[in-house]
Structure 1
Amino acid sequence: MSNKKHHYHDCVDLNKSASIEQCMNEETDTPVTPEGTRLVRIPVNLGDFNVTTHMVANIEFPYPVSEIKDIKKRVVILQCRLMTRTSASPDDQFSSGPFPLFIKGYVRKNIQYASPCYNEAGECVSSEMKSLTVKVPFECMTSVNLDSPAQLPVTNTRSEFDFFRAQDLGKGFPEKDKFLSSDISQFHQSSTANYNPLPYCELLRHEILEWDEATDRHSHHYGYSHSPVAEGHFHHIVEKMMVTFTVSVLQEQQVRITALP
């Protein structure tokens, strides 16, 4: 058996030619623009929406925490997708919904806290400033009605067709009999693809209401283990957040505007 390996530089063998064919063109069925107007392609605001989601998270600190000093927060949207239906006919090109809006992201939190440092006598408590950065994820879906209709996507088409062939059956069959069918060694197809404008989102603002509560606080002085006057520390908090953010849904569309003189 030969171990010789065959190297193929080209997957498809093409008939190459030095000639350049002239392409033909014709105008599309775009409506005629009246005099004094122009047809432009610009982002169209489909609507602004205030979306509210609720989250509960357990956060563990790597060092003991005597108290939280500050929390800086930022909403990050990873996915904002408006799911529209497809166009059913040439007269059904725009729709205002309702459509589902899928949103996925997280709240980035930088927690600045004081971590206690004890002296030998245990009378005074010094602290070191530390910080912990966490990401609290969220994912939700909300149904929206658009202020301005969205352009619906046009579906692709794909149709197969065959040619009739009469072939000899070969030995063992009468000569007058033929194989009447199409040829399975051939494939014929007509297809169209539409490149539809995809709606997208922009994040405008956010508002966060949060409660952070320690669940394992311990006192430094055993005689005052249940007294609020005793200094203490904890490692875990339960966080409850109500996050409201405003997103703007847009889509590039062809709009007719009045031309400047």
Structure 2
Amino acid sequence: MSNMCSKPDKINPLPECEADVIDNRTLGECRNWPKYPRPNYGPLVAKIPVVLSEFVVQICIKSDVRLEEPALDIKRIKKHVYLTQCKLIPKTNKLLIEGFIRKNIEYSTVECRPDNSCISGAIRHSTCKVPFECCTDVKFLRYPEFTKREPQKEVEIFDPELLGKRTDEQTFLDFEPFNEEVRCELVWAKIAEEEEEGRQTPVSGDSFENTFQTFTEKVVLLLKIKLLQDQQVFIPYCDLKDNKDAMTFKEYDPMEDVKEANEE
């Protein structure tokens, strides 16, 4: 009687992989104790960041990008915005903005076409930095504080012997103020773009598919920017008796942390 079951084909063992889980641990839970903030009640003077202006600026960018290899299509572009300079010119409302859009471009290539139905290739990537710069006018909610430097002053010393100015001694007075810098905070960035493929090259044996190596991007970049400067601000007294959130605040006690640490 013949055997109805055929012997399975011999399977070659797979090579061992270098990738492995080196270390694995399960972390236990740590306890915590909620604490109420302990502020100093007013009136007081605090030095805090003050919002000078908050606005949205629009920047239009056009860039031509050349890929490393001809692409069949672009699969994905990951974009991140970075500011390298955001500088307010003192005593003016001019803000200079410089930065770049970091783009990681993933695209498919054509390596082979075994038949009339399929095109095969690898996924490649290119990372490009598209720079931008502009100057915009700022409308201030509160003006920045700048103290100008006074001109040098000379103090005249009286000479009782000459009954006039001493010529062998000079005294000067200089006043050099140091102002707080106006800094930028990038709140959010929004990118709207359109891509136009460059010169098309037909894939061999296929009149429908084409490859390209360059493309043009037209970008509308929106940036929400907040201008801040550290200023001294007067905080008045606030009566929390009728405030429903009054129980969440306690008078500041510098020894309270020490007491709680000793009790727990």
TM-score band (shorter)? Answer: 0.5 to 0.7
How far apart in 2 are the matches of 1:187 and 1:119? 90
2:84 paired residue number: 78
CA separation of 1:117 and 1:156: change in aligned 2, threshold 3 A:
farther
2:60 paired residue number: 54
1:114 aligns with 2:97: no
Task: Encode CA deviations 1:28-79: one digit per residue, 9 max, x unaligned.
Answer: xxxxxxx951011000011211011111111000111000011111110111
| RMSD, aligned α-carbons | 2.8
Q: Which residue, out of 48, 53, 64, partners 2:70?
A: 64
CA separation of 1:107 and 1:161: change in aligned 2, threshold 3 A:
same
Letter in 1 for 2:232: Q
Q: Which residue, out of 191, 201, 213, partners 1:235?
A: 213
How far apart in 1 are the matches of 2:213 and 2:134? 30
Shift of residue 204, structure 1, vs aligned partner:
0.5
1:246 aligns with 2:252: no
- TM-score (ref. length: structure 1): 0.66
Q: Is contact 2:48-2:233 (8 Å) kept?
A: yes
- TM-score (ref. length: structure 2): 0.65
Task: Encode CA deviations 1:129-178: one digit per residue, 9 max, x unaligned.
Answer: 111110110110001111122212322533467999xxxxxxxxxxxxxx
Q: Is contact 1:211-1:240 (8 Å) kept?
A: yes
CA separation of 1:163 and 1:71: change in aligned 2, threshold 3 A:
same
**1:208-219 alignment, distance < 5 Å:** 208-219=191-202
How far apart in 2 are the matches of 1:66 and 1:36? 66
Shift of residue 119, structure 1, vs aligned partner:
4.2
Q: Is contact 2:85-2:98 (8 Å) kept?
A: yes
Secondary structure of 1:127's counterpart equals: coil
Q: Is contact 2:157-2:170 (8 Å) kept?
A: no
1:133 paired residue number: 127
Secondary structure of 1:84's counterpart equals: coil
1:205 aligns with 2:188: yes
Richer in strand (by share):
1
Secondary structure of 1:118's counterpart equals: coil
How far apart in 2 are the matches of 1:133 and 1:210? 17
Q: Is contact 2:189-2:222 (8 Å) kept?
A: yes
How far apart in 2 are the matches of 1:57 and 1:43? 37
Q: Which residue, out of 16, 19, 42, partners 2:48?
A: 42
How far apart in 2 are the matches of 1:36 and 1:208? 44
Shift of residue 188, structure 1, vs aligned partner:
5.9
Q: Is contact 1:211-1:241 (8 Å) kept?
A: yes
Secondary structure of 1:105's counterpart equals: strand
How far apart in 2 are the matches of 1:44 and 1:223? 63
2:177 paired residue number: 194
How far apart in 2 are the matches of 1:237 and 1:156? 56
Work out the percentage of aligned pairs sharing the same amino acid. Answer: 29
Count of aligned residue pairs for this structure pair: 193
Letter in 1 for 2:179: N
Letter in 2 for 1:81: K
